[in-house]
Structure 1
Amino acid sequence: MTATQASDAPAAEPILELDDLGVVFTTESAEVPAVRGVSLHVRPGETLALVGESGSGKSTVALAAMGLLAGNARATGRAVIDGTDIVGADEAGLAALRGRTVSMVFQEPATALDPLTRIGKQIAEVIRNHNDVSAKDAAARAVGLLRRVGIPEPEKRAAAYPFQLSGGQRQRVVIAMAIANDPALLIADEPTTALDVTVQAEILDLLRRLAAETGTGVLLVTHNMGVVADFADRVAVMYQGRIVETGPVEDVLLRPSHDYTRRLLAAVPRLSVAESDERPTAGEVRPDDGSGSGDATAPVVELRDISVVFGRGKRSVHALDGISLVVSPGETLGLVGESGSGKSTAARVALGLIPPTSGAVSLFGADLARTRSRARRRLRSGIGVVLQDPVASLDARMTVGECVAEPLRVHRRELSARDQRSRVEAVLDRVRLPRDIVRRAPGELSGGQRQRVSLARALVLEPRLLVADEPTSALDVSVQESVLKVITELQDELGFACLFVSHDLAVVQHFARRVAVMRAGRIEEQGPTGETLLHPETDYTRRLLAAVPVPDPVVQRGRRAERLATLAAGRMEAEA
């Protein structure tokens, strides 16, 4: 039962109540306030979405509610869960609450799960921590929880290790652990950010069903406004540590009262689901000026009938199965599909990092299979790469200046140290970062700043091809908008081609000129972005588009009902 459905019934007492909550972090130089005077509540069976930019304080609020703040943090005010004030509570009292009364679903299941312990044993441990049951009974309940969250072959999966499951399955395992003891409150911190749209829709359906069955209250921390429209009853908007607006989801998303909320919503890329003549303006095909090396008239990169097989015999996996792609000078090709569809593998083949089992790869007009190591190195110097996680791709031991200059040291050894510094400063100007940032470490920067550093490093050699693999999926909407705007402006200035790998179809629709839809190692369809995404030819592309949540609660309710009806019809047809 949602809060909307219960509007005529007497309001239940909140399961979570924050009253004038404040959090201050003590650093070497000063005390930094992260949360200021936050007051909100979550009632049984309702979902409150907490939204805002990175650094707004939303995750700090969630951690404070769990009593999981860092040692240098000090909380003030009240954070009451089921009658217990978390602020000032001792560790024994908190341990009794966590996992039983309140549980948390984290953004990255890979870090939430022990890689060396089997799935069933991890769930059983959570059960036994709060219940006097035998190991055998806990193991049986663990299998039942896996079945409840939709894991296929739960007995078999219980014996598996986390690395043997897909990303969506791992997130379902984390949810199974979170609901193992029927908590009254579930705190979900960006639970779908790293998931493709179909898995995201399944996870939201699962959380919605569990909340309805058990009356669990949900505090959802997210930057995805489509998820908010799809899942939340109420919304609280945070800005610089404060709540600036709160209300029912339709009021906040459709009739925002605060200027910051309006700006936040304006930054959301919206998937066009109606017939339209509009076409994306970013990534237009531009004539090559012939200034680069190689054949200027040839495609920047071309994959011809590429297959990639990992392993041998019965254990072999066909990651790619006869795909063909072309990226022309100056254009952006969006590569979309579910996790495991082969998108990233195709990008790595284009980079020359994975040799194809069969087929041919052409880079700047040269056949990669026939180029020797020195020539191949010269070809690769014409490629820039931006990855999803700048924390992992930037060396924490280097300064920003050293990270950006690294490609110059590898591929432009003839440049003096002074010339390298000059190029680093110039590319930092291009990505709108201050030059004095060169002396800082990556860990001292925000997520958006780190991604701009990654972009600067990718472009410091002025490449002819930029390969961007999920470059904005971990960024909030306003930072995502600014990063994509920088890429677009630099593409206009430098004329590089872009292979843009993403599971965010709304971003691809606005950013890419052409799109290729992948499924199970094959290309389902490809063509101009507007035609392919507005008038898809295959059922798979239509299902992919139907799973994308839009930031309009009214429209999204209809889309969700239509998607669920289509899935139900498909199941009935399969059973028949």
Structure 2
Amino acid sequence: MSAVRRPAADASGGHILDLDDLGVVFTTETGPVQAVRGVSLHVAPGETLALVGESGSGKSTVALAAMGLLSGNARATGRAVVDGTDIVGADEERLSGLRGSTVSMVFQEPATALDPLTRVGKQIAEVIRNHRRVSAADAAERAVELLRRVGIPEPEQRARAYPFQLSGGQRQRVVIAMAIANEPALLIADEPTTALDVTVQAEILDLLRRLAEETGTGVLLVTHNMGVVADFADRVAVMYQGAIVETGPVEDVLLRPSHDYTKRLLSAVPRLSVAEAVGAARADEQADEQADGPGADAPGAAPAGQPAVELTDVSVVFGRGKQAVHALKGVSFAVHPGETLGLVGESGSGKSSASRVALGLIAPTAGSVTLFGADLARTRARARRALRAGIGVVLQDPVASLDARMTVGECVAEPLRIHRRKLSGREREALVAAVLDRVRLPREVARRTPRELSGGQRQRVSLARALVLEPRLLVADEPTSALDVSVQEAVLEVIGELQEELGFACLFVSHDLAVVQQFARRVVVMRAGRAEEQGLTSATLLHPETDYTRRLLAAVPVPDPVVQRGRRAERLATLAAGRTEEQG
């Protein structure tokens, strides 16, 4: 299928998307809620406009309004014109004709956007046949072409696969293939890379950029990742409390912001420190400074003594024979009291398996695991249960990890009911109130349910539940990946303060290298089940020893458009050189 190149916007200002004084009000049990107020913006052919802001700022509501996908309790006012058609007030028949042909959407989570019971090729073909009069055979052939175009290897075979048989990055490519199947004039991408590791994220951004350049498709990018904005956007619109407070070219907004809110938002962004050509001697000098300098006694520093958890030459194999999967291969690391160890790597690298081994949830096939000085393989069930009472866990998605049928107070008190059964109800309430104070939540929150809280508040509830037993080890698995930058900053600040107060060890699993560089003293880089590289964060992430770590760091977008353009060009040149060597 050949790409159709659309003409660029002319001097008269022909826009693919034009919002004029858009307002959205939701009718709720407690009264009307004004989610969007007087939003005016436009997207030209071949242009990418990034819509940024905190959770609740209204950016996703604007994107849904542009698709005509607002819920039944929403009322839109103003104008939302897509390629000449006003979406506000349009009937469902007209909207159905536009969606998937003139305007398409790429959602954040491909697992929920795809039908798990239908092969991916058939799902793409269905989108084509919904808007074009073509035979089933022709639609299937075009589906394979689209899979090839978005970079899926062996597209003929992958077209027959179900979504669960593909990786996260491949599923997102399938969603993009569906979105561009009918060559839309406007592509709306709502957090398209949030759940992806940095290398897959870079590949998806390269793909979206190339498609926009080839076809002249306008892109409305909704994101909280300022590095992605710097890497991909031409212009930026900043939303706050339902209104746009600043808009302009990406370099102006990110490097010379004018609004106080934009300045606060950018100041909260964790920034990856990048070393250029600095000698190894300087790397050693920086490592010595971190090991012996004033920061050695701060939270995250590694004191001498018995580690809270230690993995020694651990291997984990799932299955047998030819079907066996080697999840971990000879992994060794230790986390000491008061120290934060970052565990980083791509999806499938083994970081989550390593954290589950540390928690005692997966028994190693080989090697040993020591928790608070006790060998887990030689510990009986009752003693192991007592050891686990010293562990707190914070997971990526608080919506999934908190029981929606329980109040916040009941969720936080759950570990107390399991491990401290002799406590009275009043004693439990007192401990819950104290830990809510620690994570900066008002005590009245205990009477509310998780769904009544914001994303950042829910994650703090998860943190309160993890810390209510005052654990000696905190395992945080992607605790901030779904949070916007200001909320992320607040959650990390709370964890750091509580670590300083309580002295717990922290195993911090993340694909966000900028966060790990800021938060962890030491880091382990995982690759294909092995510990590829480990050491002080200052040395390992500034001056990596392996090509893999260097590639991982090169894929991280930084929130400076000028610097990021140079990094992207260097990364693409390195990839091209690598392909040339392989072909030679």
Q: Normalization by structure 2: what TM-score?
A: 0.95
CA distance, structure 2, for counterparts of residue 11 and residue 159 of structure 1: 46
Q: Partner amino acid for 2:271?
A: R
In the alignment, is the contact (CA less than 8 A) between 1:283 and 1:511 conserved in 2? no
CA distance, structure 2, for counterparts of residue 481 and residue 68 of structure 1: 32
Q: SS at 2:427's partner residue?
A: helix
Q: SS at 2:461's partner residue?
A: helix
Unmatched segments (≥5 aa) in structure 2: 1-6
> 1:201-236: CA deviations, max 9, x gaps?
000000000000000000000000000000000000
Q: SS at 1:534's partner residue?
A: coil
In the alignment, is the contact (CA less than 8 A) between 1:47 and 1:220 conserved in 2? yes
In the alignment, is the contact (CA less than 8 A) between 1:283 and 1:512 conserved in 2? no
Q: Partner amino acid for 2:149?
A: R
Q: Partner amino acid for 1:521?
A: G
Q: 2:308 maps to what in 1?
A: 300
In the alignment, is the contact (CA less than 8 A) between 1:12 and 1:44 conserved in 2? no
In the alignment, is the contact (CA less than 8 A) between 2:316 and 2:328 conserved in 1? yes
Q: 1:506 maps to what in 2?
A: 514
Per the TM alignment, residue 312 of structure 1 is displaced from its structure 2 partner at its CA by 1.5
Q: 2:116 maps to what in 1?
A: 115
1:347 aligns with 2:348: no
Q: Partner amino acid for 1:568?
A: A
CA distance, structure 2, for counterparts of residue 29 and residue 549 of structure 1: 42
Q: SS at 2:238's partner residue?
A: strand
Root-mean-square deviation (CA, aligned residues, Å) is: 1.5
Q: 2:4 maps to what in 1?
A: none
Q: 1:553 maps to what in 2?
A: 561
1:481 paired residue among 464, 469, 489: 489
1:284 aligns with 2:284: no
Q: 1:261 maps to what in 2?
A: 262
Q: 1:573 maps to what in 2?
A: 581
1:247-396 paired onto structure 2 within 5 Å: 247-274=248-275, 277=286, 279=290, 283-285=299-301, 287=303, 297-396=305-404
Per the TM alignment, residue 10 of structure 1 is displaced from its structure 2 partner at its CA by 3.2
Per the TM alignment, residue 59 of structure 1 is displaced from its structure 2 partner at its CA by 0.3
Per the TM alignment, residue 286 of structure 1 is displaced from its structure 2 partner at its CA by 5.7
> 1:102-133: CA deviations, max 9, x gaps?
00000000100011111111111101100111
Q: 1:460 maps to what in 2?
A: 468
Q: 2:504 maps to what in 1?
A: 496
CA distance, structure 2, for counterparts of residue 414 and residue 555 of structure 1: 58
Per the TM alignment, residue 330 of structure 1 is displaced from its structure 2 partner at its CA by 1.1
Q: Partner amino acid for 2:197?
A: D
1:171-320 paired onto structure 2 within 5 Å: 171-274=172-275, 277=286, 279=290, 283-285=299-301, 287=303, 297-320=305-328
Per the TM alignment, residue 285 of structure 1 is displaced from its structure 2 partner at its CA by 2.5
In the alignment, is the contact (CA less than 8 A) between 2:205 and 2:232 conserved in 1? yes
Identity %: 83
CA distance, structure 2, for counterparts of residue 284 and residue 223 of structure 1: 27
In the alignment, is the contact (CA less than 8 A) between 1:279 and 1:529 conserved in 2? no
In the alignment, is the contact (CA less than 8 A) between 1:509 and 1:530 conserved in 2? yes
In the alignment, is the contact (CA less than 8 A) between 2:8 and 2:45 conserved in 1? no
CA distance, structure 1, for counterparts of residue 338 and residue 534 of structure 2: 18
1:101-180 paired onto structure 2 within 5 Å: 101-180=102-181
The structure-2 alpha-carbon separation of the partners of 1:321 and 1:90, relative to structure 1 and needing over 3 Å to count, comes to same
Q: Normalization by structure 1: what TM-score?
A: 0.96
CA distance, structure 2, for counterparts of residue 183 and residue 312 of structure 1: 47
1:432 aligns with 2:433: no
Q: Partner amino acid for 1:497?
A: A
Q: SS at 1:325's partner residue?
A: strand
CA distance, structure 2, for counterparts of residue 386 and residue 529 of structure 1: 22
CA distance, structure 2, for counterparts of residue 547 and residue 303 of structure 1: 29
Per the TM alignment, residue 43 of structure 1 is displaced from its structure 2 partner at its CA by 0.4
Aligned length: 564
Per the TM alignment, residue 543 of structure 1 is displaced from its structure 2 partner at its CA by 0.3
Per the TM alignment, residue 355 of structure 1 is displaced from its structure 2 partner at its CA by 1.1
In the alignment, is the contact (CA less than 8 A) between 1:116 and 1:161 conserved in 2? yes
> 1:431-468: CA deviations, max 9, x gaps?
00000001111011000000000000000000000000
> 1:509-533: CA deviations, max 9, x gaps?
0000000000000011000000000
1:539 paired residue among 547, 552, 563: 547
